[in-house]
């Protein structure tokens, strides 16, 4: 049995709406169902969503503050005032700044830009930056993707004689800055009909208000920031990103073209997914490890050679960023495991480390959230000053911005969204900061909030899917927040093949079948699962449809996101060279939802070397026993609640069928049986009883006389004459003893002169020998399918 990583939450179907949309638009029922699930329930709105290319943008003057900002900018242009564009260092801030540079160039403005250094300065406006701007002769500051919380800094700028126009999209605080103009669709009372604009979206609206109509290729830059900042891709954002992608396929920007090339993206087929996973990480790498100005230069250069040089630099920075992230993740996990040893995971994870690059702590927080599924805050500590800068990532059950607001007096600065935020504070306040967050989360989070949920669009059968259906689903593009790539669940697929692929064998390729239809399933980075998926099994999968093109042939493919096997399974790892390592792998794969070793037990033989293996001390170890079947070997096993054991490791061969059967009595809820004993080195093999063989052995015994005979002497001799093991010969004598053919006592054997006439099959020992021989034949000689089938039949028979 293989548990799914997520709880699959399948959307409620709307059959009436689905059937109407499918009929009127001549689309597949699946696409119609997905549209209905996204709230698009009329043929008119569905046609506009799928095929609309002429959607208009909202009037920018609906944004509160726009009617005040535009006249001020026009005055600045007329008077040739020096304007400062103040941006941010993430991909949205970089895009916003680049867009404003293109706007300033087009307007012929006198301008400068300022983006704070992530590590040295941190997020937001800074007074020293205002001092610098004043020295440069700036009289008007326009912020992009920042400023809505900068009450003190904007007041300071005003005191220096500079007007500040804020364009931002972050959550506004209770007290707003007294800027010349505040433009943010989330400001209370703002009538703008769409609240989900990115920072670059708000900048685009400012450009639209100034120019009337913005150049089509500027949407490329707006699309990057919108997708990178995880803004909802519906309403106006859908228009912005769709126009941006269309322009990007024949990009007018040398920097974007160079970045697509270095990322290995086909320009003609660029999508929102490419923006999210190819462009955005490289743009972000600039601000994380260096200064965001390099990325701004890439998006604003008009020189192809410079663009190529900058794109290569960003690519190298991104590779360096990946290594830095991996190092910090490893350290953070080690610190967390030490911190929670014996106490369990807290409601909010807070980990801080000296010298950690604050430019990547957000990524680290995301990775720990993915691993532990808890709201996570990762902070880098400056060892000299003790100042901490961090990033938070949260789960749907906790608004992290609200949580930070609750303890705002402990921080020097904070800002963000319900799912992500940033903050700074001194290390002396870390403990109190963590306790306050725990208290806040404890009052709001319930146990179900800690179970990751995968939102599923539909459940269908394989026969409903084909290349044409997959092509229709592409009409839902661009995919992103609030308009995700469709997730489908298919149940009871028969697994025909499971193998690792890729140069390092880190990826997974499955071949599935249902009702005669075949499907290739691919999962990147999950090659290890191939060892735990058995051909012939019935499997449930969750994934996204795609079309694989190879040698001119187009075929349906599913990109796997989750998988489960609901039936119990037997895994054949006989002769495994590293049993302890395998146990760790299995525990990680089978029980990723468990915080302890509770679901796992291992069984060893009485003379097994594993009884002395220190690396198994924390595991529940049981040992085969000739009287009771199995006994607990250590304290962990002795205290175990046996009904909780779901995976059983058989490190050694059981000695008797009674010992084998005892496993299923002791562990009635076992789901996975991992067989790991050696197939070699068993010299005392039992054989299936043969009547003629028994007759021959009895004749040989009678020839030796009535006795008394020393068993230690005659057993090896009889073993050699009959070509069977000494152990087998001893079991034969047990049968003869039960039937009254011989008498045995204290190692002395005597033949009964006039034995009773009894059939071999009347002996209980004979049947035990038959079952034990069959057990050994399967456990040592059978192929994997035969072994699995036999073990499952025994398990079902005992239960």
> For residue range 401-428, what is the model confidence (pLDDT) as tens digits?
999 999 999 999 898 888 899 999 999 9
Tokens of 545: 């449809």
- Contact criterion met (CB below 8 Å) for 571 and 677: no
What's the pLDDT at 342? 64
Domain segments of the chain as ranges: 7-43+455-564, 60-250, 345-450, 569-681, 691-762
pLDDT classification of 655: cutoffs 50, 70, 90? confident
Q: Which residues of 593-611 are buried (b: 16+ CB within 10 A; e: fewer)?
A: eeeeeebbbbbbbeebebb
**Architecture category of domain 7-43+455-564 in CATH:** Beta Barrel (2.40)
CATH T-level assignment (fold) for domain 691-762? Arc Repressor Mutant, subunit A (1.10.10)
Distance of CA 708 to the CA centre of its chain: 71
**For range 104-116, the mean pLDDT:** 98
Joined together, the tokens standing for residue 271 give 């999508």
pLDDT number for residue 615: 62
Sign of dihedral through CA atoms 89, 94, 96, 98?
A: positive
Instruction: For residue 319, give every residue at least 6 positions away whose Cβ sits within 8 Å of its Cβ, in sequence order, or none.
Output: none
- Other CB atoms within a 10 A radius of the CB of residue 647 amount to 23
Q: What is the mean pLDDT of residues 630-643?
A: 81
Q: What is the pTM of this model?
A: 0.81
Q: pLDDT digits over 722-770, tens only?
A: 989 998 999 999 999 999 999 999 999 999 988 999 999 999 999 999 9
Q: Are strands 82-86 and 7-10 parallel, antiparallel or unpaired?
A: unpaired
pLDDT, tens digit, 9 for 90 and up, residues 186-214: 999 999 999 999 999 999 999 999 999 99
Mean pLDDT score of the chain:
92
The pLDDT of residue 417 is 81
pLDDT at residue 595 is higher than 60: no
- Give the pLDDT band (50/70/90) at residue 561: very high
Task: Identify the pLDDT of residue 618.
Answer: 63
Model pLDDT for residues 426-444, shown as the tens digit of each residue: 999 999 999 999 999 999 9
Q: How many CA atoms lie within 13 A of 497 on its CB side?
A: 12
Q: What pLDDT is stored for residue 704 in this prediction? A: 84
CATH fold label, 345-450: Diaminopimelate Epimerase; Chain A, domain 1 (3.10.310)
Question: Residue 593: what pLDDT?
Answer: 60
pLDDT in tens, 125-183: 999 999 999 999 999 999 999 999 999 999 999 999 999 999 999 989 999 999 999 99
286 pLDDT higher than 70: yes
At residue 161, the pLDDT reads 97
Per-residue pLDDT averaged across 695-710, rounded?
87
pLDDT at 455 over 90: yes
**60-250 is classed CATH 2.40.10.340:** no
> Is pLDDT of 594 > 70?
no
Tens digits of residue pLDDT in 235-251? 999 999 999 999 999 99
Q: What is the pLDDT of residue 637?
A: 81
Pick the CATH number of 569-681 from 3.90.1170.50, 3.40.50.300, 3.40.50.880, 3.40.50.620: 3.40.50.300
- Whether the bond between 708 and the residue before it is cis, its omega within 30 degrees of 0, is yes
What is the model's pLDDT at position 373? 93
Share of the chain above pLDDT 70, in %: 97
Name residues whose C-beta falls within 8 Å of residue 194's C-beta, 6 or more positions apart in sequence. 58, 185, 235, 236, 237
State the pLDDT at residue 609. 83
Confidence of residue 617 (pLDDT cuts 50, 70, 90): low
CA distance 118 to 123: 7
Share of the chain above pLDDT 90, in %: 77
Average pLDDT of span 783-791: 91
């Amino acid at each position: 049995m293989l548990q799914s990583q997520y709880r699959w939450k399948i959307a409620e179907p709307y059959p009436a709406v689905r059937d109407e949309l499918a009929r009127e638009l001549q689309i597949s029922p699946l696409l119609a169902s997905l549209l209905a699930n996204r709230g698009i329930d009329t043929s008119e709105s569905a046609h506009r969503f799928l095929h609309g290319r002429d959607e208009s943008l909202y009037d920018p003057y609906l944004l509160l503050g726009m009617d005040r900002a535009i006249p001020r900018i026009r005055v600045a242009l007329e008077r040739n005032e020096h304007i400062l564009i103040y941006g941010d260092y993430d991909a949205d801030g970089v895009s916003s700044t680049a867009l404003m540079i293109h706007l300033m160039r087009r307007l012929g403005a006198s301008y400068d830009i300022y983006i704070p250094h992530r590590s040295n300065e941190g997020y937001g406006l800074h007074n020293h930056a205002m001092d610098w701007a004043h020295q440069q002769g700036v009289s008007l500051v326009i912020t992009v993707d920042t400023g809505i919380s900068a009450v003190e800094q904007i007041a300071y700028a005003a005191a220096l004689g500079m007007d500040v126009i804020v364009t931002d999209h972050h959550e506004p605080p209770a007290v707003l800055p007294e800027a010349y103009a505040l433009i943010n669709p989330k400001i209370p009372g703002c009538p703008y009909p769409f609240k989900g604009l990115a920072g670059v979206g708000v900048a685009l609206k400012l450009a639209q208000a100034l120019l009337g109509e913005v150049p089509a290729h500027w949407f490329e830059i707006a699309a990057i920031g919108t997708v990178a900042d995880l803004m909802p891709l519906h309403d106006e954002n859908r228009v912005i990103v769709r126009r941006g992608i269309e322009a990007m396929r024949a990009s007018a920007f040398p920097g974007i073209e160079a970045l697509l090339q270095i990322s290995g993206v086909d320009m003609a087929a660029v999508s929102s997914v490419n923006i999210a996973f190819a462009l955005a990480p490289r743009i972000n790498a600039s601000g994380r490890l260096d200064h965001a100005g390099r990325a701004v230069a890439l998006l604003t250069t008009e020189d192809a050679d410079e663009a190529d040089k900058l794109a290569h630099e960003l690519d190298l920075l991104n590779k360096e960023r990946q290594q830095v992230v991996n190092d910090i993740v490893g350290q953070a996990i080690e610190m967390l495991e030490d911190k929670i040893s014996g106490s369990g995971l807290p409601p909010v994870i807070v980990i801080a480390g000296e010298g950690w690059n604050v430019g990547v702590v957000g990524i680290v927080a995301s990775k720990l959230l993915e691993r532990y599924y808890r709201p996570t805050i990762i902070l880098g500590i400056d060892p000299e000053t003790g100042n901490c800068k961090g990033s938070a990532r949260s789960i749907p059950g906790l608004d992290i911005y609200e949580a930070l607001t609750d303890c705002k007096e402990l921080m020097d600065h904070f800002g963000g969204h319900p799912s992500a935020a940033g903050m700074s504070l001194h290390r002396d306040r870390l403990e109190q900061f963590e306790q306050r967050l725990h208290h806040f989360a404890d009052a709001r989070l319930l146990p179900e909030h800690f179970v990751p949920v995968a939102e599923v669009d539909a459940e269908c059968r394989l026969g409903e899917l084909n290349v044409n259906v997959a092509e229709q689903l592409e009409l839902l593009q661009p995919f992103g927040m609030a308009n995700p790539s469709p997730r489908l669940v298919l149940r009871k697929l028969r697994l025909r093949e499971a193998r690792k692929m890729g140069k390092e064998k880190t990826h997974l390729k499955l071949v599935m079948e249902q009702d005669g239809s075949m499907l290739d399933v691919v999962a990147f980075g999950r090659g290890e699962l191939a060892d735990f998926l058995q051909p012939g099994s019935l499997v449930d999968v969750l994934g996204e449809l795609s079309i694989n093109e190879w040698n001119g042939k187009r075929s349906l493919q599913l990109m796997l996101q989750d998988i489960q096997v609901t039936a119990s399974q037997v895994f054949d790892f006989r002769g495994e060279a590293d049993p302890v390592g395998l146990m760790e792998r299995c525990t990680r794969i089978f029980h990723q939802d468990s915080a302890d070793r509770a679901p796992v037990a291992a069984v060893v033989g009485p003379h097994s070397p594993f009884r002395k293996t220190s690396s198994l001390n924390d595991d529940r170890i049981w040992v085969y026993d000739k009287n009771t079947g199995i006994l607990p070997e250590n304290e962990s096993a002795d205290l175990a609640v046996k009904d909780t054991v779901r995976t059983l490791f058989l490190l050694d061969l059981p000695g008797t069928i009674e010992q084998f059967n005892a496993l299923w009595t002791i562990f009635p809820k076992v789901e996975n049986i991992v067989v790991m004993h050696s197939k070699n080195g068993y010299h005392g093999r039992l054989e299936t009883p043969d009547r003629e063989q028994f007759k021959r052995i009895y004749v040989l015994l009678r020839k030796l006389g009535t006795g008394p005979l020393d068993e230690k002497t005659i057993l090896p001799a009889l073993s050699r004459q009959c070509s069977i093991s000494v152990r087998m010969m001893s079991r034969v004598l047990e049968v003869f003893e039960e039937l009254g053919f011989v008498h045995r006592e204290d190692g002395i054997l005597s033949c009964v002169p006039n034995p009773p006439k009894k059939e071999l099959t009347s002996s209980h020992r004979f049947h035990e020998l038959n079952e034990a021989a069959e057990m050994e034949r399967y456990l040592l000689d059978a192929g994997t399918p035969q072994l699995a089938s036999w073990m499952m039949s025994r398990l079902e028979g005992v239960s």
